[in-house]
Amino acid sequence: MRRLFIIRKDLHLTAGKLAAMVSHCAEAYWLNLLMRSYVKDNEFDILPVETPGYPDYWKLYRHPAIRQAAEEAHNRGDKTFVYKSENSRPTMGIKFEIPKDIWKDYVNDIFTKTICEAKNLNQLMKVVDVAKKLGLQENIDYGFIDDCCKTELTPEFTDENGNGRCRVGIWFRPLPDDMSKELSKKYQLYKD
């Protein structure tokens, strides 16, 4: 298993900015997995069905009962839904599932990470076509690394909230090596 990140070279990121961006994305993958699986026993949670930029956000919930409630709310056209756990026993902490292959081959074995470079935005976006051909889903198996342009970078586009953003790269969840190689074969390792 391997975590793959493809980062634009034309932005001339400093080593610190590059490290911060990749670290943020690596951490965000696990935090999002936790967030989509979180259940508080005996408490009501108001959870989103849709979020700006993610019209199918309800599909991201991994806990089966939450996902079912989210899908039902989506089918009704609701923007939020209330979920109450049926477990009457309070829990200590968070429960979530990690797919068996990711646990066995990535979390419990070797943490292999590869950072490749794309010459520019156009070359970066070509990997999205490869990802889709491999059956990968955006915001689940891969996602965009966008910077909010508060330090080194200048905005290249405006998000749905009117904030300036710059597309820095693309992250991928832990994937089998053969799939990672298929995605990265047209990119070389990131060099300073």
Tell if the pTM clears 0.85, that is, is over it. no
Residues lower than pLDDT 50 in the chain: 39, 41-44, 88-93
Name residue, tokens 């200048």.
Answer: 154
What pLDDT was estimated at residue 155? 95
Q: Specify the CATH class of 3-35+98-189 in words.
A: alpha beta
Q: Show the tokens assigned to 65.
A: 């009962």
What pLDDT was estimated at residue 111? 74
Name residue, tokens 């911060």.
Answer: 20
For 123, phi and psi rounded to 5 degrees?
-65, -40
For residue range 73-111, list pLDDT tens digits in order: 888 888 777 766 665 444 434 555 666 777 776 666 677
Residues 85, 44 contacting (CB under 8 angstroms): no
In Å, what is the CA distance from 157 to each residue of 37, 71, 160? Answer: 32, 32, 10
Residues 49, 81 contacting (CB under 8 angstroms): yes
Q: Show the tokens assigned to 148.
A: 């909010």
| Residues paired with residue 172 on neighbouring β-strands, in sequence order | 142
Question: Residue type for 23, please?
Answer: S
With vertex at residue 175, the alpha carbon angle to CA 169 and CA 177, rounded to the nearest 5 degrees, is 105
What pLDDT was estimated at residue 93? 46
Within the chain, all domains assigned CATH 3.40.1490.10 are found at 3-35+98-189
